[in-house]
């Protein structure tokens, strides 16, 4: 074989080898990409699992319902970069949800109640999956930084197929959810549902310990806790606050004449009258025996006096178990001076004493400007 033939054969072999090498490299590059994609997926799955584990740990770190709701909501909002958020819980025996937690919303923002058969929640809770929904002016809440969001990501919160509530994550613009984002939000909602249920059970136990068994009103311990909260809120918002001390006149005579069972029925009926006579925002509690207390937030002295008179007249017009006609005496104390908030109960009690001494079935208002031990009570407004 001459030299030219040898060179030709060699060239052909080299080209063939080069082609084989190229094909092998292409296959190797494809395999590498597949491996990298698989590693990325695995890494993403690990990141999502780690995030869900962190969220699960956070939402289950407390049995306080408010804290559980806030933690779940803020984590979900951070995942989606939401400008604001709200957490709603289903109201028992009602086809609606109430906003129980929020962040970056204006005070008393629109949308405090969501009807289950109306947008923006209806489509998402029907599909039982996270969905981005357009908001209208009627349903869009105000954002602290100004303006109203045009879109909201609704994330249903369910447990064992039962709707417990929903998260609303407010967005600056429309966006399509990726499958990973939807899975992650569903995971957050599932963890939140478990923690919410545990917190609700704990809250129910706490409420039983803070509820008067006979009247089903808050007891004295609960009244003290709520009064502390209302004082803090009044200080924060620079509002007035009032307290009513209410006593059923001649209740000992009722017990002695008609028996304690009838006396219990009278107290339960009085509790019902007080609740219906008060405003929804007021706190009515059984203070002890035949005495009841009522916290009136954002209420000045004239408003407290008017409400007390209305309640007194309502009781006087009622017929109690056993056909009894009974009356109450009320002591009123109100102020917008934060330094005097802690004296309201004492001043109301002193005013009640003056009402009892003055003949009962009347309202007396404490003079908050007078020293506590030397104050003079106003004349009876009703005898």
Instruction: Characterize 184-217 residue by residue with b for buried, 16 or more Cβ atoms within 10 angstroms of its Cβ, and e for exposed.
Output: bbbbbbbbbbebbebbeeeeeeeeeebbbeebeb
Q: Which residues contact 56 (CB under 8 A, 6 or more apart)?
A: 191
CA angle 281, 283, 285 (to 5 degrees): 160
User: Do the beta carbons of residue 124 and residue 84 sit within 8 Å?
Assistant: no
Which sign does the torsion angle of CA 54, 78, 160, 130 carry? negative
Question: Between the CA of residue 267 and those of 28, 214, 271, 315, 344, what are the distances in Å?
Answer: 86, 8, 6, 12, 24
Q: Tell me whether residue 213 is one of the annotated catalytic residues.
A: no
* Cβ contact 327:350 at 8 Å: no
Catalytic residue among 102, 230, 290, 301: 290
Render the burial of 4-40: b for 16+ CB within 10 Å, e for the rest: eeeeeeeeeeeeeeeeeeeeeeeeeeeeeeeeeeeee
* Ranges assigned E (strand) in 270-335: 283-288, 291-297, 328-335
- Look-up of token digits 């984590």: 75
Virtual torsion, Cα 24, 26, 28, 31, nearest 10 deg: -140
All residues at 6 or more sequence positions from 61 whose CB lies less than 8 Å from its CB, including other chains? 71
The catalytic residue positions are 290
């Amino acid at each position: 074989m001459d030299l030219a033939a040898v060179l030709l054969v060699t060239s052909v072999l080299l080209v063939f080898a080069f082609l084989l090498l190229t094909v092998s490299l292409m296959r190797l590059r494809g395999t590498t990409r597949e491996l990298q994609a698989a590693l990325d997926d695995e890494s993403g799955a690990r990141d999502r699992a780690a995030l869900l584990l962190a969220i699960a740990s956070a939402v289950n770190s407390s049995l306080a319902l408010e804290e559980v709701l806030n933690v779940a909501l803020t984590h979900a909002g951070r995942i989606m970069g939401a400008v604001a958020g709200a957490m709603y819980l289903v109201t028992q025996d009602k086809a609606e949800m109430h906003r129980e937690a929020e962040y970056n919303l204006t005070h008393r923002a629109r949308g405090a109640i969501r009807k289950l058969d109306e947008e923006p929640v209806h489509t998402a809770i029907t599909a039982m999956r996270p969905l981005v929904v357009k908001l209208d002016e009627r349903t869009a809440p105000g954002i602290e930084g100004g303006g109203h969001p045009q879109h909201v990501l609704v994330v249903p919160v369910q447990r064992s197929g039962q709707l417990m509530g929903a998260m609303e994550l407010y967005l600056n613009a429309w966006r399509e959810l990726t499958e990973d984002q939807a899975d992650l939000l569903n995971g957050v909602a599932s963890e939140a549902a478990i923690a919410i249920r545990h917190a609700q059970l704990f809250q129910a136990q706490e409420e039983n310990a803070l509820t008067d068994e006979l009247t089903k009103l808050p007891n004295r311990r609960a009244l003290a806790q709520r009064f502390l909260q209302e004082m803090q809120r009044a200080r924060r918002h620079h509002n007035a606050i009032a307290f009513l001390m209410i006593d059923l006149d001649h209740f000992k005579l009722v017990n002695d004449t008609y028996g304690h069972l009838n006396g219990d029925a009278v107290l339960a009926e009085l509790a019902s009258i007080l609740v219906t006579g008060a405003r929804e925002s007021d706190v009515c509690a059984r203070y002890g025996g035949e005495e009841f207390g009522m916290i009136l937030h954002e209420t000045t002295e004239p408003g407290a006096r008017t409400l007390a008179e209305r309640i007194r007249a309502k009781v006087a017009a009622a017929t109690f178990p056993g056909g009894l006609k009974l009356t109450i005496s009320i002591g009123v104390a109100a102020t917008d001076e934060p330094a005097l908030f802690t004296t309201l109960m004492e001043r109301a009690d002193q005013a009640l004493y003056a009402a009892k001494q003055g003949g009962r079935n009347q309202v007396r208002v404490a003079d908050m400007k007078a020293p506590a031990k030397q104050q003079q009570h106003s004349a009876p407004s009703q005898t």
